[in-house]
Amino acid sequence: MKVVVDMNKCQDHGQCVFAAPDVFSLDDAGHLAYVSDPDDALRDEVEEAADVCPLQAIRIED
Amino acid sequence: MNGRIVVAGASMGGLRAAEQLRAAGWTGAITVVGDEPHMPYNRPPLSKDVLAGKAPFESLAFTPKASTADVEWRLGAKIVAARLAERTVELDDGSALSYDGLVVATGMRPRRLRCPGPLAGRHTVRTLADAQGLRDELTRPGTRVVVVGAGFIGCEVAATAVGLGVREVTVVDPLPLPMVGPLGELPARALLKRHEERGVRFALGTGVAGFEGDDRVTGVVLADGSVLPADVVVESVGSVANTEWLQGNGLDLSDGVLTDEHLRAGGHPEAVAVGDVARFPNARYDGVPRRVEHWSIPTDTAKHAARTLAAHLAGGAVELAPFAPLPTFWSDQHDFRLQSFGAPGLGLEDVRVLDGEPEGDVLVGYHVGGRLVGVVALGGHAAALGAAKYRAHLLKQPALTA
Ligand SMILES: Cc1cc2nc3c(=O)[nH]c(=O)nc-3n(C[C@H](O)[C@H](O)[C@H](O)COP(=O)(O)OP(=O)(O)OC[C@H]3O[C@@H](n4cnc5c(N)ncnc54)[C@H](O)[C@@H]3O)c2cc1C
Ligand code: SF4
C-alpha cells in the first residue's frame, strides 16, 4: 500500500496519528512524519486516518 | 444482498454512510439523494482558507472510496416527503423511491434573523455558493462587515475578514463573551482578548433589532437603538435541522431526529440517522440525547449506523456496544487554533486551567464530580498538541451515569 500526504494541505492536526499511530507520527517540532509504504495489514487503520484528516490531505494509492 | 438503501443528503454524512455500508458488507443498491448540485465537499474551509482565498473551491471535494463506485448519486434533487410505513420517499420532481433501508443525513441549515429590513447584503455560511457569494463581497475595497452571532462560525468569519483586510469588522451578540455557551467564561474571555488584539470589534450583550437600508442593507440596528454601519452582514446565529420532509411519521423531530443508542429513528430498525441531524444518546456520558455539530460526528455516526442497518437488513441481530464517540472539535481563527476533545459543555460548572495561562497558550479542563469530561486548548500548535495528550485519558474514563 502506498500512502501520500499532500503537505501543502496538511496543517498538522495530528488526527491521523490517533487513527494509525504505526504509520503517522508528529516529530518533536509537531510536524507530520509518515511511512509511505506501510504493510497492507494496516489498511483499515490508514483508511480511518484518511477519513479523519480535517484537511483531507491523505491519499491511499494501492 | 438485494434491495436498496436510500441515503437522504449528499454531504459528508451521506458519503460516509455509503462508504461504511459497503464496509459493513451491504452489496445491494445505494442511492444518495442530495439537493445541492455538487458531490460531497468539506465544509470547514468555507469559513477559513477558502473564504480567505488561500485554497481554491475545487480543493474541497471529498474523494469517495473505490467501494462506492456503483453508488447512484441523484444530485440537485430534494426529498420532500417520506412515508416510513411504506418505506418510500418522494422527490421534488414528483417521483418516488422505495427502499429497504433509509439513512437520514440531511444536516442543518443556518437559522435566519426575522427582524425587519432588506435581505440583500445579508449572508450565511453553510454551502459553497454561500462562501463564494460572501467572498465576492468581502474582497470589495473599503467593506464594513457586521457579524451577527459570536459562535464558532461567526468568530472564524470575523477572523478571516480581518485577514482579508476589510475596513472594519464588528461582531454582535446578546451574550457577554464570544463562544461562552460551549466554552465557559475563562476561555471565552481569552478568546475575546485575542480577537480584539487582532482588530475585531465587538458589540456584546446586545441583540439586533433590525436592518437599515432600502434595497440593500446599509446598517445594523442594535437593541438600544444605535446603528452599526454595514456593507455586508453575516448571520451566524445557529442552525435548524432539515427534517421537514420526515414530518407525519410519528418521529420526534423537536431538534433533529431523535435516535436510540444505535442511531435508529423512532423504533424503525430500517431507518438510521447520521451527522449533524442525529440527536443521539452518547453512552460515554449521561445518556441524554444531543445533536453534535462537529466534523468528527458524520464519520463516527456513519460507521455505527451502517453496521446497525446492514446487520438488520441481513436478518441478523445488532451486536454492537451502544454508540459512544469521543467528540472532537477544532476551530481556526486568526493565527491560533481552538482544539477540543470530549464534552466540555457538560463540565462548565468546574473549569480549571490545566496548563499555561489565559494570556498565552492555555489548556483548560472541564469536570463533572471532580472527573475530567473535556479539554479545550487555545493557542498555537503546541497548545493543540497539549490537548491531544489528554485524549487517551478521556477515552479511558468510565462512563458518566445520569
Ligand atoms: C462554515 C462551516 C465551518 C465549519 N467548521 C468546522 C470546524 O472547524 N470544525 C468542526 O469540527 N466542524 C466544523 N463544521 C461542522 C461540520 O462541517 C458539520 O458538522 C458537517 O458538515 C456535518 O455534515 P452532515 O453531512 O451531517 O450535514 P450537512 O453537511 O449539513 O449535509 C446535509 C446535506 O443534505 C442536504 N439536504 C438537506 N435537506 C435535504 C432534502 N430534503 N433532500 C435532499 N438533500 C437535502 C443539504 O443540502 C446538505 O448537502 C463547520 C460547518 C460549517 C458550515
Ligand atoms: S490529520 Fe491531516 S492535517 Fe492532520 S497531521 Fe494528519 S495529514 Fe496532516
For residue B14, being part of any structural domain is answered with yes
For residue B92, being part of any structural domain is answered with yes
Residue B168 domain boundaries: 112-237
Q: Tell if the CB–CB gap between B388 and A9 is shorter than 8 Å.
A: no
Together in a domain, B71 and B132? no
As a whole-number percent, the residues of chain B with pLDDT over 90 amount to 93
Residue at A45: amino acid letter: E
CATH (domain of B177): 3.50.50.60
Q: What's residue B204's pLDDT?
A: 98
Together in a domain, B94 and B147? no
For B310-365, what is each residue's pLDDT tens digit? 999 999 888 899 999 999 999 999 999 999 999 999 999 999 999 999 999 999 99
For residue B348, being part of any structural domain is answered with yes
Report d(CA B108, CA B256) in Å as an integer: 8
pLDDT score of A39 more than 90: yes
- List B279's β-bridge partners, or say none: B258, B291
As a whole-number percent, the residues of chain A with pLDDT over 90 amount to 76
For B149-159, what is each residue's pLDDT tens digit? 999 999 999 99
pLDDT tier for residue B233 given thresholds of 50, 70 and 90: very high
Q: On the CB side of B188, how many CA atoms lie within 13 Å of its CA?
A: 20
Domain C-terminal end among B169, B203, B237? B237
For B84-141, what is each residue's pLDDT tens digit? 999 999 999 999 999 999 999 999 999 999 999 999 999 999 999 999 999 999 999 9
SS (H, E, C) chain B: CCCEEEEECCCHHHHHHHHHHHHCCCCCEEEEEECCCCCCECCHHHHCHHHHCCCCHHHHECCCCHHHCCCEEEECCCEEEEEHHHCEEEECCCCEEECCEEEECCCEEECCCCCCCCCCCEECCCCHHHHHHHHHHHCCCCCEEEEECCCHHHHHHHHHHHHCCCCEEEEEECCCCCCHHHHCHHHHHHHHHHHHHCCCEEEECCCEEEEECCCCCCEEEECCCCEEECCEEEECCCEEECCHHHCCCCCCCECEEEECCCCEECCCCCEEECHHHEEECCCCCCCCCEECCCCHHHHHHHHHHHHHHHHHHCCCCCCCCCCCCCCEEEEEECCEEEEEEECHHHHCCCEEEEEECCCCCEEEEEEECCEEEEEEEEECHHHHHHHHHCHHHHHHCCCCCC
Q: What's residue A11's pLDDT?
A: 87
* Contact of B143 with B150, CB cutoff 8 Å: no
For residue B328, being part of any structural domain is answered with no
Q: What's residue B382's pLDDT?
A: 85
Out of B38, B276, B338, mutate this one to test ligand 1's pocket (max ligand atoms within 8 Å of CB): namely B276
Domain C-terminal end among B215, B237, B259? B237
Q: Tell if the CB–CB gap between B62 and A56 is shorter than 8 Å.
A: yes
ipTM of this predicted structure? 0.93
Together in a domain, B91 and B174? no
Protein residue with its CA nearest to atom 4 in ligand 1: B44
Out of A8, A23, A24, mutate this one to test ligand 2's pocket (max ligand atoms within 8 Å of CB): namely A24
In angstroms, the separation between the Cα of residue A5 and the nearest Cα of chain B is: 14
pLDDT score of B22 more than 70: yes
The grid coordinates listed for A33 are 512524519
Q: Is the CB of A15 under 6 A from ligand 2?
A: yes
Residues of A in contact with B385 (CB under 8 A): 14, 26, 30
Question: Which atom from ligand 1 is nearest to the alpha carbon of B80?
Answer: 41
Q: What's residue B335's pLDDT?
A: 95
- With cell 493557542, the residue in question is B379
Together in a domain, B123 and B32? no
Together in a domain, B66 and B167? no
For residue B320, being part of any structural domain is answered with no
DSSP H or E run through A49: helix A43-52
The grid coordinates listed for B260 are 436510540
For B39-84, what is each residue's pLDDT tens digit? 999 999 999 999 999 989 889 999 999 999 999 999 999 999 999 9
Protein residue with its CA nearest to atom 1 in ligand 2: A53
Protein residue with its CA nearest to atom 28 in ligand 1: B107
* Average confidence (pLDDT) over B220-237: 97
Q: What's residue B1's pLDDT?
A: 63
Q: Is the CB of A57 under 6 A from ligand 2?
A: yes
Q: Which residues contact A17 (CB under 8 A, 6 or more apart)?
A: A24, A25, A26, A32
For residue B134, being part of any structural domain is answered with yes
Q: Let me know if A27 is exposed, middle or buried by CB neighbors in 10 A (0-12, 13-18, 19+).
A: exposed
Together in a domain, B247 and B344? no
Q: What's residue A29's pLDDT?
A: 83
Q: For testing the chain B interface, which of A51, A58, A59, A62 should be mutated: the one with the most B CBs within 10 Å? A: A51
Q: What's residue B402's pLDDT?
A: 53
Together in a domain, B309 and B261? yes
Together in a domain, B87 and B162? no
Kindly report whether the global pTM for this prediction surpasses the value 0.80: yes
| Chain B contacts in chain A segment 21-60 (CB below 8 A) | 26, 30, 47, 51-52, 54-56, 59
Q: What's residue B60's pLDDT?
A: 94
* Contact of B143 with B167, CB cutoff 8 Å: yes
pLDDT score of B161 more than 80: yes
Report d(CA B260, CA B115) in Å as an integer: 37
As a whole-number percent, the residues of chain B with pLDDT over 70 amount to 99
Q: Let me know if B46 is exposed, middle or buried by CB neighbors in 10 A (0-12, 13-18, 19+).
A: buried
For residue B341, being part of any structural domain is answered with yes
Q: Indicate the number of domains in chain B.
A: 3
Measured between CA atoms, the residue of chain A closest to residue B302 is: A51
CA-nearest of B70, B89, B11 to B246 is B89
DSSP H or E run through A48: helix A43-52
Nearest ligand to the CA of B151 is: 1
Residue A40 is given by DSSP the state: G
For residue B329, being part of any structural domain is answered with no
Domain C-terminal end among B211, B237, B263? B237
Instruction: Report strand pairing: B144-148 vs B232-235.
Output: parallel
Together in a domain, B34 and B92? yes
Report d(CA B180, CA B189) in Å as an integer: 8
Q: Tell if the CB–CB gap between A52 and B388 is shorter than 8 Å.
A: no
Q: What's residue B375's pLDDT?
A: 97
Nearest ligand to the CA of B62 is: 1
**Over chain B, what is the mean pLDDT?**
96
The domains found in chain A, sorted by start residue, are 2-61 (3.30.70.20)
In angstroms, the first-to-last Cα distance of chain A is 5
Q: Is the CB of B239 under 6 A from ligand 1?
A: no
Together in a domain, B209 and B290? no
